[in-house]
Amino acid sequence: MGEKQKNAKKISSFRLWLSRIITIISLGVFIYAAYNLGDILIDYYKNRQLMDEMQGLYYEADDEGTPEGSIRPGFEPLLELNEDVVGWITIDGTRIDYPILQAEDNFHYLTRNFYHEESRAGSIYLDYRNDIRLENEKNVVLYGHRMRDGSMFENLTKYLDKEFFDTHRTIQFDTLYESYEGEIFAVYHTLTSFNYIQTAFDNNEEFGELLDEIYATTLHTTDVEVTEDDMILTLSTCDYKLDPEEGRLVVQAKLTKKEL
């Protein structure tokens, strides 16, 4: 066998070996990606099943005739499962129809579901600084993830569309003790450097300053008048438009107590 033939054989063997290595690596990458995708889809499925379960328990109860200041019947079966339940939020035209939880910090339910299990979807939760009786609150803040399957607070992105904003302005916000209607007046992208989640104010004038900044930031104009004497509901979720880490999408509504 000539020298050229030996070299050609070596090159052919090397190419075959390299091809097999690339195939094995590609197969490994595919299996890893498929495993991760499967894990994500399972997590989405479990979250949907869990929310269906919670909705079934909540809506089966009859709230009529509940004494003022008492825990409303719809929350009783939920509280038996998790004492951190503090409310419920519903927005027509979206998939937002969830229980609200509250922990001793703003991190616990970021990555945990209703049963305290690790979950990508986390939970919808109330800022730990808010008092759910809302007696002296000015800014009630709720947090939630934006999931790719459209769950949790992903549908807040619908409010970026002016037509949707104009036709779906009402939020149903229920606490353990009372029922409120929220009239949406602001939607905007922002950064965490803007303290839109401020919950304590030295006086009404300071709250008024926050309202002025909100009105100056909102993407859509509205005829809803929010004064220093009012209370607002703030819905906050992550957003990548301004910054992948510090970006936020915010929807805010004026809260009015309903007569049960």
Instruction: List the catalytic residue out of 238, 243, 247, 260.
Output: 238
Respond yes or no: is residue 89 known to be catalytic. no
Contact 182, 254 (CB under 8 A): yes
CA distance 182 to 28: 50
Burial of 244 (0-12, 13-18, 19+ CB in 10 A): exposed
Q: Quick one: CA dihedral 232, 259, 77, 136, positive or negative?
A: positive
Q: Which residues 6+ apart lie within 8 Å of 198 measured at CB?
A: 139, 210
CA distance 260 to 248: 34
CA distance 10 to 33: 34
3 state SS of 225:
coil
CA distance 58 to 89: 11
CA distance 53 to 115: 12
Q: Which residues are catalytic?
A: 238
